[in-house]
Amino acid sequence: MTARPPATIPVARPWIGQPEADAVSRAVLSGWVTQGPEVAAFEREFAEAVGAPHACAVSNCTTALHLALLAVGVEPGDEVITASHSFIATANAIRHCGAVPVFVDIERATYNLDPTKLAGAVSPRTKAILAVHQIGLPCDLRAILEFARPRGLPVVEDAACAIGSEILWEGKWEKIGRPHGDIACFSFHPRKLVTTGDGGMITTASAAWDKKFRLWRQHGMNVPDTVRHGSKQVVFEDYVEVGYNYRLTDVQAAMGREQLKRLPAMIERRRAQSAHYHQLLAGIPGLDLPREPSWARANWQSYCVRLPGRVKQRAVMQAMLDAGVSTRRGVMCTHREPAYRDTPWACGGGRAACGCAPGVCRQLAESERAQDEAIILPLFHDMAGSDQERVAALLRALLA
């Protein structure tokens, strides 16, 4: 008889337990299952957790980004500057407004938008900047805002991965979502820290925009269900704009409230696990480990290392999978996907001017390199230290 091989270590796994199951059960048995009291409570608690004046729950982060871009006035034919090196939903949200994504390259060290590239991407049609806090590491918002403010360009933050991440702001550590730009959008997909299955949140300091989000998420209806339900008078609603159905359910919100309570422990654990990886992986020639700039604290949504240029990313990942360790390649580049072959987009150099071939853009060289060289190692709340040691030993042996 041969020994069973150890179970494959997954790349990620949400931290969910009985409190979430109980909360979901409470919402189900209450008889109010969508956008009711649980959603309202989740919004209050989320706003409190990140220090935002307003938080509006929606169905996911893609719909959050769509509404945020609409709120700042993005219209068909406009351009929005963003990173190609992001999950495709970032650029898709711009397309959902009928606008054109203009991709700028990233910084090698942080995988985040390079503020020095913004000037080359601006045109008379630029309407906004969509900045991403990639895999939970805050981007250089100060530099981006210094560029955007004098030009009157609104800044929307794609904070899908950045719940609990922090940025040093006027001498104080502040949570992403305050927001520091104009609007910030979060995701509760299971690949992020806090999950509701699917779900999203929009934070802003603007009461007017918050009101718009509430209108748009529920078909443009001017009376929320909670108000109609609680009224002793007959209430007739109006549909004042063509809206959307971007509601979060109460079942999801009930789960989200429990998840939010776990957030401080989630981040503490991930910081410790990342420090452990740093130790275990130190000194491997050519292997780049993730670093936080002095002004940023990641929530360590992912632990992303950059392989030495000489090794083949796919071969390393396959060898790790064969040995029972699941990994993912670095963040995708939207401009290389089939969906963007015939979809309008531009790069900082003006797509035609830079002589891009399909899937290859000279203006986005760091983005492409990051996709091809980086791999995401397993990291999740319940991951044992001994499993981290297994992952590190395997990678060390493969790169020897």
Ligand X SMILES: *Cc1c(COP(=O)(O)O)cnc(C)c1O
Which residues in this chain contact ligand X in the complex, by CB under 6 A? 60-62, 86-87, 89-90, 132, 158, 160-161, 187, 189, 200
For residue 249, the SS3 value is strand
Distance CA 5, CA 23 (A): 37
The C-alpha angle with vertex 116 and arms to 66 and 70, in degrees rounded to 5, equals: 15
CB of 29 to ligand X, least distance (A): 27
CB of 89 to ligand X, least distance (A): 4
Distance CA 10, CA 64 (A): 28
Choose among 136, 192, 193: nearest CA to 167: 136
CB of 92 to ligand X, least distance (A): 9
CB of 385 to ligand X, least distance (A): 27
CB of 90 to ligand X, least distance (A): 5
Closer residue to ligand X, CB minimum distance, 62 or 249: 62
Distance CA 34, CA 250 (A): 4
Q: 194: which 2 tokens?
A: 């806090």
User: What residue ranges in the chain does DSSP mark as E strands?
Assistant: 54-58, 79-83, 100-104, 126-132, 155-158, 166-169, 172-175, 183-187, 200-204, 296-297, 303-306, 328-329, 346-347, 374-377
For 269, residues 6+ apart whose C-beta sits below 8 A from its C-beta are: 381
CB of 93 to ligand X, least distance (A): 8
Distance CA 140, CA 138 (A): 7
CB of 258 to ligand X, least distance (A): 18
Distance CA 179, CA 61 (A): 15
Closer residue to ligand X, CB minimum distance, 185 or 254: 185
Query: What are the residues facing 201 on neighbouring strands?
Result: 57, 186
- State the number of CA atoms in the 13 A half-sphere of 271 facing the CB: 13
Other residues' Cβ atoms within 10 Å of the Cβ of residue 230: 9
Closer residue to ligand X, CB minimum distance, 136 or 349: 136
Distance CA 246, CA 67 (A): 9
Closer residue to ligand X, CB minimum distance, 127 or 189: 189
Closer residue to ligand X, CB minimum distance, 161 or 266: 161
CB of 387 to ligand X, least distance (A): 24
